[in-house]
Amino acid sequence: MTKTTEILRITNLAKSFYLHNPGLVIESCHDINLTLLEGEFIGIVGRSGAGKSTILKCINRSYLPMRGDIIYASEAFGPINLAAASEREILYLRRHEIGYVSQFLNVMPRTTAKEHVMSALVDQSMDAAGSEVKAEAMLRYFQLPESLWGIYPATFSGGERLRLNLAHAMVKEPRLLLLDEPTASLDNKTKLLVRDILKKLKGANTSMIGIFHDIEFMEGVCDQVFNINEGRIAS
Amino acid sequence: MYLNETPVLSIRDLTVRYGKGCSACSGRADNRDKNRCIACGTVWATDGISLDVYPGEVLGIVGESGSGKTTLMRALYFDFVPSFGSAVLRDYEDGQKNIWEASSAAQRMIKNTVMGMVYQNPVLGLRMNYSAASNIAEKIIAAGSRNAGQMTGRAMELLDAVEISTSRMSEAPKNFSGGMQQRVQISKALANNPALLLLDEVTTGLDLSVQAKVLDLIRKIKALYGISILLVSHDLAVIRMLADRTIVMLDGAIIESGLTDQILEDPQQAYTQQLVHSLI
């Protein structure tokens, strides 16, 4: 079956930063156009500072886009422009439809790995018992050893953190997953494990956009690859 | 679907000034040295603050000392009467009536049933010579309950929730550490199941492990009771951990607002950029 339903369409996206001190404009990306179909995986590559993360952060609205539209086909709202949606709408989408994963931990102090994954469900108003069952299933799915579930993740290795972050994002069953350099700083063996996990997610029809330094690892997973050079799509 | 939510609290144009104001400073910020009028010396503690707090959300307020954060909180808790402005609560008169124009009996009722407040300084929020349990009971009685047995049970439950051993519930907070006093204040503020919790610098001055305990507690309270929280802090780490949306105040006015991660990662205003770049 060919995929035809658009889940995300970005047109003419541009983002720059104005730094009041020293009064400087930093151009990050411009003229970004891309379309993601449901169940597709887009890979973004490019040198450090090329503007890759900026695109992902604009979709997540951690950055405020300056120009352009980011039309997302929401289950709850229908087509919605993420560049202009209200803060409350963005919060709803992050809670229910859009997941964002990076290699960094963002965990409340004194929260164990399992509690962290459960918190994503509690935010969706699921009860404690139900969220515990689902959280455990998700941690198992991402192969985080059971001996780590009751531990504060500050001591986790890079690969363990990433798997925890994936579990936290995926337990919400998002329709769109944004991956910000998930394989950076991982050893080859762990990278292969991440690739297998992403393949599995793709098999489950999750739409994904991911930034990779080492795109060769993602061969056979990405449907489209965009190369960002000096803030523009080069190929 | 269309996101149709009624705010728990809506504030419009809250202004608190000390002094009469003059034609040079009224309605214009350019004749002021920070928040003080150059011509007449009037201090504009808050100037035209408008905000909405939605059900179940944590709204963070950051800003430097003297930016008007505490003034805003204390005006909301009727500690003084603002110069102008209105505030309506979803749970009072269906959000139709300005709470600052309500009778003092109605204001007491609002404090006792709709809102809970935790002050930066526990002396303001607790009766230091009464026992921890009596402090909580006072709030429950004010909310209309008279059943002593239920009250003790509720006090035990609340102190347990903030991890204060019930063996110390008959002790007076003056014997407690700062972190414990803060946690008794939180349990007192929760005693009447408020729809809106006002937290003013609750973790300031606490050591890191106690701070983590209080943060953890606030997160659990939010998840468990679905309470809306107005959270004032100058600690950006606390804001990042807890707030869904954040407002930045400077010299009595709101200069920027947005999703918390956007405020921290892509701040627009000069002051906010300076604040975020000062993070260690």
Angle of the B178-190 helix axis to the B148-161 helix axis, nearest 10: 130
Query: Cβ of A133 under 8 Å from any chain B Cβ?
Result: no
Query: Cβ of B222 under 8 Å from any chain A Cβ?
Result: no
For a pLDDT cut of 90, what percent of chain B falls above it? 59
Based on the number of CB atoms within 10 Å of its own CB, is B240 exposed (0-12), middle (13-18) or buried (19 or more)?
middle
**Residue A82 is encoded by which pair of tokens?**
């993420």
Query: Cβ of B6 under 8 Å from any chain A Cβ?
Result: no
One pLDDT digit (tens) per residue for chain A, 235 residues: 455 899 999 999 999 999 998 899 999 999 999 999 999 999 999 888 889 999 999 999 999 999 999 999 999 999 999 999 999 999 999 999 999 998 888 888 888 999 999 999 988 888 889 999 999 999 998 889 999 999 999 999 988 998 999 999 989 989 999 999 988 878 888 888 888 888 988 998 999 999 988 878 778 889 999 999 888 888 6
Inter-chain residue contact A57 with B266, CB threshold 8 Å: yes
Inter-chain residue contact B215 with A109, CB threshold 8 Å: yes
- Residues in A closer than 8 angstroms to B259, CB to CB, are 61-62, 87, 90-91
User: Where residue B130 falls among pLDDT bands split at 50, 70, 90?
Assistant: very high
Would you say residue B3 has pLDDT above 80?
Answer: no
Lowest-pLDDT range of A10-24, A144-158, B39-53, B151-165:
B151-165
Residues 223-242 of B with CB under 8 A from A: 223, 226, 241
Preceding omega of B7 cis (within 30 degrees of 0)? no
Q: Which of the residue ranges A116-120, B143-147, B216-220 has the most confident prediction, judged by mean pLDDT?
A: A116-120
Residue of B nearest to A85 (CA): B3
Lowest-pLDDT range of B6-10, B28-32, B266-270:
B28-32
Query: Tell me, what's the ipTM?
Result: 0.91
Q: What is the pLDDT of residue B209?
A: 79
Q: What is the pLDDT of residue A132?
A: 95
- Residues in B closer than 8 angstroms to A64, CB to CB, are 258, 262, 266, 268
pLDDT digits (tens, 9 = 90+) for A116-165: 999 999 888 888 899 999 999 999 988 899 999 999 999 999 889 989 99
User: Where residue B2 falls among pLDDT bands split at 50, 70, 90?
Assistant: low
Residue position matching structure tokens 């990306």: A29
Pick among A25, A61, A62 to test the B interface (most B CBs inside 10 A): A62
Q: What is the pLDDT of residue A1?
A: 47
- Which of the two residues, A37 and B219, has the higher pLDDT score? A37
Domain range annotation of chain B: 9-277
Residue of A nearest to B237 (CA): A108
Q: How many residues are given for chain A? A: 235
- Residues in A closer than 8 angstroms to B265, CB to CB, are 57, 62-63
Class of domain A6-106+175-233: alpha beta
Of B2, B244, B266, which has the smallest distance from its Cβ to A91's Cβ?
A: B244
Pick among A26, A56, A100, A110 to test the B interface (most B CBs inside 10 A): A110
Q: What is the pLDDT of residue B152?
A: 87
Pick among B208, B211, B238, B262 to test the A interface (most A CBs inside 10 A): B262
Of B3, B211, B215, which has the smallest distance from its Cβ to A92's Cβ?
A: B3
- Please state, in angstroms and rounded to a whole number, the distance separating the CA atoms of residues B252 and B244: 22
**Which of A176, A206, A180 lies closest to A80 in space, CA to CA?**
A176
Of B3, B212, B245, which has the smallest distance from its Cβ to A109's Cβ?
A: B212
Pick among B215, B221, B244 to test the A interface (most A CBs inside 10 A): B244
**Which of B205, B206, B209, B227 lies closest to B218 in space, CA to CA?**
B227
Inter-chain residue contact A108 with B244, CB threshold 8 Å: no
The residues with which B12 forms a beta bridge, in sequence order, are B86
Q: How many residues are given for chain B? A: 280
Q: What is the pLDDT of residue A104?
A: 85
- Residues in A closer than 8 angstroms to B244, CB to CB, are 91
- Which of the two residues, B3 and A205, has the higher pLDDT score? A205
Q: What is the pLDDT of residue A2?
A: 54
Of B3, B219, B261, which has the smallest distance from its Cβ to A62's Cβ?
A: B261
- Which of the two residues, A174 and B211, has the higher pLDDT score? A174
Q: What is the pLDDT of residue A3?
A: 58
- Residues in B closer than 8 angstroms to A63, CB to CB, are 262, 265-266
Distance in Å, alpha carbon of A87 to nearest chain B alpha carbon = 6
- The predicted model gives B131-152 an average pLDDT of 88
Class of domain B9-277: alpha beta
Q: What angle do CA B217, B219, B222 make, to 5 degrees?
A: 110
The mean of the pLDDT values for chain B is 90
- Please state, in angstroms and rounded to a whole number, the distance separating the CA atoms of residues B52 and B133: 34
Quote the strand ranges of chain B, DSSP E. 9-18, 32-33, 36-37, 43-53, 58-63, 84-89, 115-118, 196-200, 228-232, 245-250, 253-259
Inter-chain residue contact A123 with B57, CB threshold 8 Å: no
Question: Under a CB-based contact definition with an 8 Å cutoff, are residues A24 and A191 in contact?
Answer: no
**Residue B73 is encoded by which pair of tokens?**
């909180």
